[in-house]
Amino acid sequence: MNEPAPARVRLSRENYIPVSKHRLTRKLIEQLPDESSSRQWFGDFCRLIEAIYHFEYHRTSEELKEDFHLFNSEMGQRELDQAAPEQVAKSESRFLSHFIDMMRKANFQPLTQADVDMAEAEDYLFNLPVIIDWEKLDAEMLPRFFASHPYSLEGEPPEFAKRILIFRRGVGIDQAVGFHLLAKIDLLVTFFLEWLFSLPRRLFGKQPPAKAAPPADCEPPPKENKTSIFEEEYVERVTLRHSMTGIGALFRRTRLQEPTFRELVILFRFASLPKNGANKKDWAVHVKAFRDIPMADLEVVFPEKRISMQAIDLVKLVITGAIGFVVVLVKFVFSAALNPLVALAALSTIGGYVAKIFVGFKASKDRYQYLVTHSLYHKNLDNDLGVVFYLMDSLEEQEFKEAVLAYYMLLRKGACSEKELDAHCEEFLHEHFGVKVDFEADDALAKLERDHLVEFADSQYRAIGLEEALRRLDEKWDNYFAYNNG
C-alpha cells in the first residue's frame, strides 16, 4: 500500500488580531520614553478610545438584545404572541442585519463553499459517517432576509446558506499521537470492502473512467489586492489514509495533524413542524459558538445530525449475526426432530439472539453519539444570548486595537502612506507577539479620520499630537449630550 502525499491547506491571512487589548496597550506604552508624560497621556488616550467605542456601540448592542429577546427560545414567546406580524418581521430583519455587521467588524469571515469542500476532502479523528437532516432547519428566514439585503459576504456561499450561517475566525493546528488501533482497523475494513465491491465490476464489467486525483494543495481563493507583508503559509493534513502503509502500521504510533477553525459561530432556526395537529411557527433563533474545531470534523457542529455505523461495526454485526443465526437454526432443526418443547426453547433462543444483535447495533450508535456530545461539550464556548454578548465585546475590542495601533505607529514613525502604515503595524505585531496578521489599515485610518486624529496630505497620513488628540477626544466625549453647555 503506497502512502499518498499529505494534502496541504493554505492558511489565508486574516484581519483578526489575536492579542488581547490589555497586552497590546501595555506593550505600546512600554515602547514610549518613560522620562516624559507621553506614557500617561497615551494611557488616557486608550481609555478615551475604549470608552467612546463602547458608548457608540451601546445602542447597537441594546437593539441586538431587544430583538434577540423575541427569538430567544421560550423567553420571548409571550411578546411574540402579542406582537404584530410587521413588528416581528422588522425585529427579525434588524437583528440579522446587526448580527452580520457585528461579525464583519469583529473580523469573522463567512464560511464559503470552498471552505466546505476543503473540509470534506479529508477525515480526521472523527471519521464517522454523519448525515445532516437539512429538512429540520428553517429555509425561510435567511432567504427572506437576503431578498431585501443582497448577500454581501465574501466568497461563494455554501449550499446550506439558506438554512444556516457559519462564520469562522482564526486558524490553529491540532495534533493527535497514538496507535488509533480501532480507527486503523476500520480503515482497513473499508479498503477491503471497497476492493470487494469493485471486484465483480473489474472482472466482468467495463472499467469506470479514472477519477481525477484531488489536488495536493487545498486552498481558499486568494484575496485580491493582497496587502500583507507575509508570504503565504501552508499546513499539512496528515490523516490515517496517509499513514497506512501496510499491516505493520497497525502497531506503530501515528501522528495525525489537521488545521482547525479557531472559532466558529453558527446561526439557524429550526423548521416549524406540526405538533398536535397544529403547525405553530417556531420563531426561536439559535446562535452557538465553538472553538478549535478540526476542519475535517466540521460536520460535528451542525444541528440535527444522524450518525451512521462504521464499516467495522456493520461487518462485525453481519458476520456474528449470520454465524449465530446458522448455529441456532441448526440447533432448532435437530431439536424439532427430537422434542417439540426443546424446539420451542430453541425458537425463543433465535428470537433472543436477534434481539441481542439489535441491541448491539443500537449500543454502537449510542457510543458514537456520545463521542460527538463529549467532543462538543469541551469545545462549546457559549449559546444564544451569551454568544451575542461575547461577539459584541469582541467587536469593540477589534475596533479598539486597530485604531490604537494605527495611531501609535503614525505617532512614532511619522507621516507615511496607507501601505507603509499597514507594514509597520504587521511588523510590530509579529515582532512583539509572534502573530502574522493582514492588518486593515484602511479601516483603522477611516476610524481615526472620523475622530479627526489624523491629517492627510500628499498621499500620506500624519497623526496629530497626543495632547491635541486627547483634547479632541475629550471634547467629543463631553458633547455626546449637550444639555449643560450654558
For 174-187, the pLDDT digits (tens) are 998 888 776 777 77
Nearest to 19 by CA among 401, 479, 424, 379: 401
**Percent of the chain with pLDDT strictly greater than 70:** 77
> What φ, ψ does residue 220 adopt, rounded to 5°?
-70, 155
Mean pLDDT of the chain: 82
pLDDT tens digits, 469-481: 999 999 999 999 8
* End-to-end alpha carbon distance in the chain: 86
Per DSSP, 181 falls in state: H
Regarding whether 115 and 200 lie in a shared domain, the answer is yes
Is position 271 within any domain? yes
CA distance 159 to 112: 9
Give the end of a domain, one of 304, 332, 363: 304
pLDDT at 377: 78
Write down the residue that cell numbers 503595524 correspond to. 425
pLDDT at 108: 95
Helix axes 385-413, 441-450, angle to 10 degrees: 80
Regarding whether 188 and 299 lie in a shared domain, the answer is yes
Partners of residue 289 on adjacent β-strands: 265, 382
Mean pLDDT value across residues 63-88:
80
Regarding whether 282 and 316 lie in a shared domain, the answer is no
pLDDT tens digits, 151-172: 877 778 898 999 999 999 998 8
Strands 217-218 and 7-11: parallel
pLDDT at 225: 47
Whole-angstrom CA distances from 150 to 67, 385, 433 are 21, 26, 38
pLDDT at 340: 63
Strand, coil or helix: 277:
coil
Give the end of a domain, one of 249, 279, 304: 304
Regarding whether 200 and 287 lie in a shared domain, the answer is yes
Regarding whether 374 and 337 lie in a shared domain, the answer is yes
pLDDT at 236: 86
Regarding whether 195 and 131 lie in a shared domain, the answer is yes
Is position 215 within any domain? no
Is position 56 within any domain? no
The count of other CB atoms within 10 Å of the CB of residue 290 is 21
On whether the CB atoms of residues 123 and 296 are closer than 8 A, the answer is yes
Is position 395 within any domain? no
Q: pTM of the full predicted structure?
A: 0.81
Is 90 exceeded by the pLDDT of residue 143? Answer: yes
Could you write out the DSSP letters of every residue in 105-142?
HTT-EE--HHHHHHHHT---S----EEE-GGGB-SSHH
Identify the weakest region by mean pLDDT among 10-24, 102-116, 340-354, 367-381. 340-354
On whether the CB atoms of residues 292 and 380 are closer than 8 A, the answer is no
Is position 464 within any domain? no
pLDDT at 98: 93
Regarding whether 373 and 261 lie in a shared domain, the answer is no
CA distance 401 to 86: 39
Regarding whether 243 and 158 lie in a shared domain, the answer is yes
Query: Which one is predicted more confidently, 345 or 112?
Result: 112
Strands 454-457 and 380-383: unpaired
Nearest to 168 by CA among 262, 28, 250, 34: 262
Domain extent, residue 353, equals: 309-383
Count: domains in the chain: 2
pLDDT at 235: 85
The contacts of residue 82 (CB under 8 Å, 6+ apart) are none
Partners of residue 454 on adjacent β-strands: 463
pLDDT at 344: 61
Q: Which of 19-28, 64-73, 346-355 has the highest mean pLDDT?
A: 19-28
All three cell numbers of 450, joined, read 472620523
pLDDT at 92: 93
pLDDT at 483: 84
CA distance 441 to 429: 13
pLDDT at 243: 76
Is position 450 within any domain? no
Regarding whether 289 and 165 lie in a shared domain, the answer is yes
On whether the CB atoms of residues 32 and 39 are closer than 8 A, the answer is yes
**At CB < 8 A and 24+ separation, what contacts does 249-254 make?**
249/184, 250/179, 250/181, 250/184, 250/185, 250/188, 251/179, 252/179, 253/177, 253/178, 253/179, 254/177, 254/178, 254/179, 254/180, 254/184
Give the end of a domain, one of 304, 331, 355: 304
pLDDT at 254: 86
pLDDT at 358: 62
pLDDT at 153: 77
Burial 389-398 (b: 16+ CB within 10 A, else e): ebbbebbbbb
pLDDT tens digits, 279-331: 677 888 999 999 999 998 898 899 988 777 666 666 656 665 666 666 666 66
pLDDT tens digits, 377-401: 788 999 998 999 999 999 999 999 9
Query: Which one is predicted more confidently, 204 or 48?
Result: 48
Which H/E stretch holds residue 178? strand 164-178
The contacts of residue 456 (CB under 8 Å, 6+ apart) are 449, 462
The count of other CB atoms within 10 Å of the CB of residue 321 is 17
pLDDT tens digits, 246-273: 777 777 888 899 999 999 999 999 998 7
Is 70 exceeded by the pLDDT of residue 338? Answer: no
Whole-angstrom CA distances from 114 to 119, 156, 221, 321 are 9, 8, 8, 43
Regarding whether 369 and 241 lie in a shared domain, the answer is no
CA distance 286 to 136: 13
> What φ, ψ does residue 307 adopt, rounded to 5°?
-100, 125
The contacts of residue 68 (CB under 8 Å, 6+ apart) are 95, 285, 287, 384, 385, 388
Is 70 exceeded by the pLDDT of residue 128? Answer: no
pLDDT band at 277 (very low <50, low <70, confident <90, very high): low
Is position 172 within any domain? yes
pLDDT at 104: 93
Is 60 exceeded by the pLDDT of residue 208? Answer: no
Is position 198 within any domain? yes
Is 50 exceeded by the pLDDT of residue 214? Answer: no
Mean pLDDT value across residues 1-15:
70
Regarding whether 278 and 158 lie in a shared domain, the answer is yes
pLDDT tens digits, 394-437: 999 999 999 999 999 999 999 999 999 999 999 999 999 999 99
Regarding whether 274 and 145 lie in a shared domain, the answer is yes
pLDDT at 371: 66
